[in-house]
Amino acid sequence: MEVFKKNIQKKYFLNRTSASFVRLIYKQANQMYNYQRLKELFEKFLSGNLNALEQHELDHWYAQSEDKTFFEENPQYRQADIRDKLLGSIHEELGIGTAHRSLLTIRRRIVHYWIAASLLVFFLTGLAVYHWYGKIGAEGQHQIAAETVMPARDQALIRLADGQIVDLDQLKPGTMLRVGNCNVIKNRDGQVEYVAANSNLSQAVINQIETPKGGTINLKLPDGTEVTLNAGSTLRFSQDLASQEIRRVELIGEGLFHVSKLMENGHKKRFIVHTVEQDVEVLGTIFNIQAYAGEMLTKTALVEGSVVVKYQRENRSVKLKPGYQAIWDSNKKDVDVEPFDNTIQLDWIHGDFVFENESLKTVLDKVSRWYNVDIKYEKSYPDVTFYGSVSRKNSLADVLELLKKTSNITFRVTMSSQGEKTLIVE
C-alpha cells in the first residue's frame, strides 16, 4: 500500500494538504462505485444471489447515500417494494426495532461500521485515480506493449484418469518420473519420452497430454511413435499402446505424428488417430492432423507413407498419397483432397507463421493459440486476407506489424488484473 501511495504522489504530485484535490478524487471514486459496483450489487440483490459480504456492502451504501444520480439513471431500482425489502434487510442486520426504523436512526447506528470501511474507501479512491488517468478500463484491462507478449514454449501437463496431474514444466531435462506403469523421462533436447517401467503393461492406464495456449510439446509414446503437439491441443492414449492389437489415440487440436512400425505375427500393427470428425488409420508414416474444437475444417496432411481417412458419420473414406491432404468441411459434410505446400501446412513445425490467402479469423486463431491471447473484434473485416511470413520465435509485435502492412487494421493489447491478455482488433 505504501508503494502504491508513493507512486501516486510521484506521478500526480499529490499534496496531502490539498482538500480540493482529495474531494475531486473522492468524487471520482464515489461515481465509479455507484455506476459499476452498485448496479452489479442490485442485480444480485434482485435475483437473490448476494452473499453475506455483498449484502452488507449494499445495505450500508443504501443507508448512507445522499446521491440520487444512480437511481435517476437506473429507474428499475427505484420501486417502493425494492426499497422496503432493502431497508428490511438493513433493519435485520443492525437489530433495529420497528418503532425506530427511520433512515436517520439507521445512519446513526452504522457510523461505527464506516471506521472499518475507510480502508475500502481508500482502496476505491486509489483505483479511481488509476481509472481517471486511463490506466485501467471499465473491465479492469490496461494496455500493454505487444513486444512483451512472448511466443509459445515447451510446456504441457499429464492428466491421469484418477485426477492426478503432472506438470511437465517441473520435470527437469535428464530426470525421470514414475507415472502409472511407465517412467516419463525428459530428454536433454526437451522431448518427453514414455518408457515401460516393467514388462507387465496389461493394466490400461489412460494418459492425457494437454498443451495450453502458448505451449507445445514433443512426445515419444510407449510404442515409439513420436508426436509434436501444437498449442492448445490434447492427446489421449493408453500406456499399454505398444501391446494393443490396434493402437488408438485421440486428438483435439493439432499434432504431427511419426508413427513407429510395429510387427505382430508377421503383420504390421495398425495405428489410428481419432478426432471428432474422422479416424486416420496408418501402418507407419508421417502426417499432420489439424482438428481444433469449434473449427469448421479438419485437415489431414500426409508427409510420408500411406493413410486412410475415414469419416464415420458419413460412411466415407479417402486414401492419401504423400504430398496430399484431406480437408473435411463439417458444414458441407464434404471432403476435398488436394496437394499441400509443406512450408505452409507445417509452418508451425518449421518455426514460422506462413500466411497464404488466409482470412483474418484464421490468422488470429493461430495467433491466439501461439501467444496465449484472447481475441476481441470491435468491428468485422469479412474480406481481409493475408500473405507473408514471420518467425514464431518473435514477439507478438512482429506478427502484428506484418498484418498491419497488408491491411488498414490496427491492434492493441490489454491485460487484466489476473494476467489474462486480450488482442483487440480495432
194: CATH: 2.60.120.1440
Q: Which residue range(s) make up the domain with 49?
A: 2-136
Q: Output the CA–CA distances (angstroms, integers) from residue 164 to 137, 157, 191, 196, 375, in the order listed.
A: 39, 10, 21, 19, 31
pLDDT at 291: 96
> Is 141 a domain residue?
no
Q: 3-class SS at 137?
A: coil
Backbone angles phi, psi at 123, to 5 degrees: -65, -45
Same domain, 250 and 191: yes
Indicate the residue type of 21: F
Q: Is residue 215 part of a domain?
A: yes
- Rounded CA-CA distance 158/38 in Å is 43
Considering the domain architecture, whether residues 203 and 220 belong to the same structural domain is answered as yes
- Asked if residue 195 and residue 338 are part of one domain, the reply reads yes
pLDDT of residue 43: 74
On whether both 175 and 91 belong to a single domain, the answer is no
25 and 105 share one domain: yes
> Both 163 and 260 in a single domain?
yes
Answering whether pTM is above 0.75, one says no
Question: What is the model's pLDDT at position 1?
Answer: 35
Residue 409 sits in a domain of what CATH number? 3.55.50.30
Alpha-carbon dihedral angle through residues 25, 31, 36, 38, given to the nearest 10 degrees: 120
Q: Band the pLDDT of 143: cuts 50, 70, 90.
A: confident
Asked whether residue 216 falls in the same domain as residue 290, the answer is yes
Residue 221: pLDDT above 80? yes
**Res 134: pLDDT:** 43
Q: Per residue in 281-313, pLDDT tens?
A: 997 899 999 999 989 999 999 999 999 999 988
Helices H / strands E in the chain, number of each: 12, 27
Among residues 124, 62, 144, the alpha carbon closest in space to that of 411 is found at 144
Q: How far apart are CA 229 and CA 41, in angstroms?
A: 44
329 and 259 within one domain: yes
User: Comparing 54-68, 89-103, 333-347, which segment has the lowest mean pLDDT?
Assistant: 89-103
Classify residue 147: in a domain, yes or no: no
Residues 307-315: contacts with CB under 8 Å, at least 24 apart? 307/280, 307/281, 307/282, 308/280, 308/281, 308/282, 309/278, 309/279, 309/280, 309/281, 309/335, 310/278, 310/279, 310/280, 310/281, 311/277, 311/278, 311/335, 312/278, 312/279, 313/277
Are 293 and 385 in the same domain? Answer: no
pLDDT in tens, 254-270: 999 999 998 888 888 99
Percent above pLDDT 90 for the chain: 44
Q: 163 and 51 share a domain?
A: no
What's the chain's Rg over C-alpha atoms? Answer: 30
What total number of domains does the chain contain? 3
pLDDT at residue number 213: 94
One domain, residues 43 and 164: no
156 in a structural domain: yes
Residue 101 in any domain: the answer is: yes
Question: Is there a contact between 391 and 398 (Cβ–Cβ < 8 Å)?
Answer: yes
CA distances from 96 to 60, 62, 256, 419 (A): 14, 16, 70, 44
**Residue predicted with more confidence, 54 or 229:** 229
| pLDDT-wise least confident of 46-50, 198-202, 214-218, 400-404 | 198-202
- Which range has the top average pLDDT, 58-72, 78-92, 185-199? 185-199
The answer to whether residue 257 sits within a structural domain is yes
- 92 in the same domain as 185: no
